[in-house]
């Protein structure tokens, strides 16, 4: 989904509100409601078993852009969890509105259906040159747009496999399990001279990649 959340390389943001080691990370939660975000997310995912974490990520991506820009981090996970529990029929918009005493704005409806992984291909090897498939996905995906169509080198193939996000992120329990690859891209290959030097390594599912024949 080419949404606002896909921020890598987006220009126009100012300084990061931090200086190294300047801020205490304690207390972990700065406001008395923040712990509810992940706890209620886990309640819906692990305890009630109504959705998975990929669906949570996608629900955050579905928050309307104007709302997304103005929200705090933990707030987005409250909205995502409320959205998914409503879509699963566990709770209703009316119950949320009643409890809040005003309109509880949820994420936008999901218009995409997701897509299956590509199976039946040989795995890539460390050292292989690969290209990120030049494809556009309306639903959930874990390939940041800044590597679309770009070429990099495989540094690592995971020894475990996980369900393909573009399918499981839409609740597809048949999602194929695939390894991911740490693919290294020179920053200048991604943004030319309008970038610093160095490398970016992106952790990409097998289905996002094609091998470049030597």
Partner 1 sequence: MNTFASKLSSSTPGERARALFKVLSDKNLIPEGFIEGITDLMENKWDPANGARVVAKAWTDPEYRALLLRDGTAACEQFGYTGPQGEYIVALEDTPTVKNVIVCSLCSCTNWPVLGLPPEWYKSFEYRARLVREGRTVLKELGTDLPDDITIKVWDTSAETRYLVLPMRPAGTEHLTEEELQKLITKDVLIGVSLPLAV
Query: Of 55, 81, 110, 207, which lies in the binding site for partner 1, with binding defined by CB under 8 A?
Result: 81
Q: Which of residues 191-210 bind partner 1 (CB under 8 A)?
A: 191, 195-205
User: Which helix (H) or strand (E) element contains residue 202?
Assistant: strand 199-205
Is 66 among the catalytic positions?
no
Query: Of 43, 88, 112, 118, which lies in the binding site for partner 1, with binding defined by CB under 8 A?
Result: 43
> How far apart are the C-alpha atoms of 143 and 146, rounded to whole Å?
8
C-beta closer to partner 1: residue 100 or 212: 100
> How far apart are the C-alpha atoms of 78 and 39, rounded to whole Å?
10
Other beta carbons within 10 angstroms of residue 200's beta carbon come to: 20
C-beta closer to partner 1: residue 31 or 134: 31
DSSP E strands, 12-167: 129-132, 151-157, 162-163
At 122, list the tokens.
Answer: 């040989």
Q: Which of residues 114-153 bind partner 1 (CB under 8 A)?
A: 142-144, 146
Query: Of the listed pieces 3-11, 107-115, 119-127, 130-138, which binds partner 1 according to CB under 8 A?
Result: 3-11
> How far apart are the C-alpha atoms of 207 and 5, rounded to whole Å?
21
Q: Which of residues 147-186 bind partner 1 (CB under 8 A)?
A: 156, 158, 160, 162, 165, 180, 182, 184
Is 133 among the catalytic positions?
no
Q: Which of residues 58-77 bind partner 1 (CB under 8 A)?
A: 60, 66-67, 70-75
Q: Is 84 in the site for partner 1 (CB under 8 A)?
A: no
> How far apart are the C-alpha atoms of 15 and 28, rounded to whole Å?
22
Choose the catalytic residue: 62, 74, 77, 115. 77
Quote the least distance from Cβ 108 to partner 1, whole Å: 14
Task: Judge whether 199 and 184 are in contact, CB under 8 Å.
Answer: yes
Task: Judge whether 80 and 60 are in contact, CB under 8 Å.
Answer: yes
Is 76 among the catalytic positions?
no
C-beta closer to partner 1: residue 11 or 213: 11
Tell me the torsion sign for CA atoms 57, 59, 62, 67.
negative
Active-site positions? Answer: 57, 73, 77
């Amino acid at each position: 989904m080419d949404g606002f959340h896909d921020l890598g390389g987006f220009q126009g943001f100012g300084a990061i509100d931090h200086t190294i080691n300047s801020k205490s990370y304690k207390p972990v939660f700065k406001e008395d409601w923040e712990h509810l975000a992940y706890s209620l997310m886990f309640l819906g995912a692990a305890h009630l078993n109504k959705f998975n974490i990929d669906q949570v990520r996608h629900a955050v991506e579905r928050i309307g852009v104007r709302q997304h820009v103005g929200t705090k981090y933990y707030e987005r996970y409250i909205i995502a969890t409320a959205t998914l529990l409503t879509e699963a029929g566990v709770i209703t918009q009316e119950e949320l509105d009643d409890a809040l005493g005003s309109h509880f704005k949820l994420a936008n409806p999901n218009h995409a259906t997701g897509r299956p992984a590509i199976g039946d291909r040989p795995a890539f090897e460390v050292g292989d040159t690969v290209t990120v498939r030049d494809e556009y996905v309306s639903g959930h995906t874990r390939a940041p747009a800044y590597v679309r169509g770009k070429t990099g080198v495989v540094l690592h193939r995971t020894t475990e496999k996980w369900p393909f996000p573009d399918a499981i992120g839409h609740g597809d329990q048949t999602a194929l399990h695939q390894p991911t690859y740490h693919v290294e891209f020179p920053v200048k290959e991604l943004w030319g001279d309008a970038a610093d030097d160095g490398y970016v390594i992106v952790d990409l599912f097998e289905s996002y990649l094609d091998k470049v024949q030597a």
